[in-house]
C-alpha cells in the first residue's frame, strides 16, 4: 500500500450550455460512477468534462510492475519477497536501499523498521510504518517483533502530533487484500492526521480530496521534528 490513491471526479456540462466560446460552460457534477464515461457522453447523453490526474500514472504503472514481478516469481501479486528492485514489495525495496531514503520519503529508519510518507496519501502527512522483515499478518511476527512495530507506531504518532498538531489521528492496519491491503505480503500500519471538517462537500459530493502539501515539504517537516525528538526514541 504505497497504497492510497487519489480519487477522480466525473463531471458533465448541462445540455443547455451556450456554444459561445466567450461564455465558458459551467461544469456541473453528473450522477453515476465517478470518472466514468462512454461514447454516448455523460448522464442523459450529455457531453462530459475531463479531470486530468497525470500523477496517477506512476501509481498505476507501479501496480502493473508488481503484478508482473510476482508472476515471474510464481506468486499471485503483492508478494513481499524477492531481490531488491524487483517490485515484489516497495516496502522491502525501500528497506534494502537506505541511500534512497530521501527520494523514497523515508523520514525515520531504525535497526528494525522504517517510517515513511504514503506517496498517495489520504491526507497531508499520512505516514506508514513497517518492519524491515516482511510478513503478511500481525501474528506472523514474534511478540518481540510486534512490540518493536508498535513502538515505531508510537514514534510515528509522536511525529504527527508534534509536526502537524492535528485534532485526531486514524491509526490502523489493512491485513490481507480483502481488507484493502495494497501490499498484502508486507504488513504495515497507517497513521492519518485528521481535522474537524477535513471531509467536506468536495469530498462527499465531488469525491475528490485536496492534498495541500507536497511530499517533499511534508518530509522536510517530519525530518526536522525527528531531529529534535530522536534521542527520546533511541
Can you give the pLDDT at residue 17? 41
Q: What are the tens digits of pLDDT across the range 42-100?
A: 445 556 666 666 666 766 666 556 555 544 544 434 444 444 444 468 999 999 999 99
Kindly provide the residue ranges of all beta strands, DSSP E only, lying in the chain, ordered along the sequence: 11-12, 28-29, 48-49, 106-109, 113-117, 127-131, 168-173, 189-194
Boundaries of every domain in the chain: 54-233
Coil, strand or helix at 118 = coil
Query: What gap in Å lies between CA 170 and CA 11, rounded to an integer?
Result: 31
Choose, from 105, 126, 188, 190, the residue flagged as catalytic. Answer: 188
pLDDT at 39: 44
State which residues of the chain have pLDDT below 50: 1, 3-19, 21-43, 70-71, 73-87, 201-207
pTM flag (> 0.85): no
The answer to whether residue 188 is catalytic is: yes
Per-residue pLDDT at 62: 65
Residue 196 has φ and ψ, to the nearest 5°, of -60, 130
SS3 102: coil
The phi, psi pair for 129, rounded to 5°, reads -125, 130
Burial zone of 65 (CB within 10 Å; 0-12 exposed, 13-18 middle, 19+ buried)? middle
CATH code for the structural domain at 54-233: 3.30.428.10
Cβ-in-10-Å burial (0-12, 13-18, 19+) of 159 comes to: buried
Can you give the pLDDT at residue 123?
82
Pair 53, 8: CB distance under 8 Å: yes
C-alpha closest to that of 177 among 164, 190, 186, 168: 186
Count of positions (residues) in the chain = 234
Cα–Cα dist 32/190, whole Å: 30
C-alpha cell recorded at residue 222: 517530519
Amino acid at each position: 500500500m504505497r497504497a492510497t490513491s487519489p480519487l477522480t471526479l466525473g463531471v458533465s456540462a448541462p445540455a443547455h450550455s451556450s456554444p459561445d466560446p466567450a461564455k465558458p460552460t459551467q461544469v456541473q457534477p453528473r450522477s453515476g460512477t465517478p470518472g466514468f464515461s462512454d461514447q454516448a457522453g455523460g448522464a442523459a447523453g450529455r457531453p462530459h468534462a475531463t479531470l486530468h490526474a497525470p500523477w496517477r500514472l506512476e501509481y498505476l504503472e507501479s501496480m502493473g510492475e508488481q503484478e508482473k514481478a510476482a508472476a515471474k516469481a510464481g506468486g499471485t501479486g503483492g508478494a513481499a519477497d524477492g531481490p531488491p528492485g524487483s517490485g515484489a514489495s516497495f516496502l522491502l525495496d525501500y528497506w534494502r536501499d537506505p541511500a534512497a531514503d530521501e527520494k523514497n520519503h523515508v523520514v525515520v529508519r531504525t535497526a528494525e523498521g522504517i517510517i515513511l510518507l504514503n506517496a498517495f496519501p489520504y491526507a497531508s502527512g499520512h505516514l506508514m510504518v513497517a518492519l524491515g522483515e516482511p510478513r503478511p499478518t500481525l501474528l506472523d511476527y514474534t511478540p518481540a517483533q510486534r512490540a518493536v512495530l508498535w513502538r515505531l507506531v508510537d514514534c510515528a504518532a509522536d511525529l504527527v502530533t508534534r509536526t502537524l498538531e492535528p485534532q485526531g489521528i486514524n491509526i490502523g492496519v489493512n491485513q490481507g487484500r480483502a481488507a484493502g491491503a495494497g501490499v498484502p505480503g508486507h504488513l504495515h500500519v497507517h497513521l492519518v492526521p485528521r481535522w474537524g471538517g477535513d471531509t467536506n462537500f468536495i469530498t462527499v459530493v465531488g469525491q475528490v480530496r485536496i492534498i495541500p502539501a507536497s511530499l517533499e515539504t511534508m518530509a522536510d517537516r517530519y525530518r526536522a521534528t525527528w531531529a529534535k525528538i530522536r534521542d527520546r526514541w533511541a
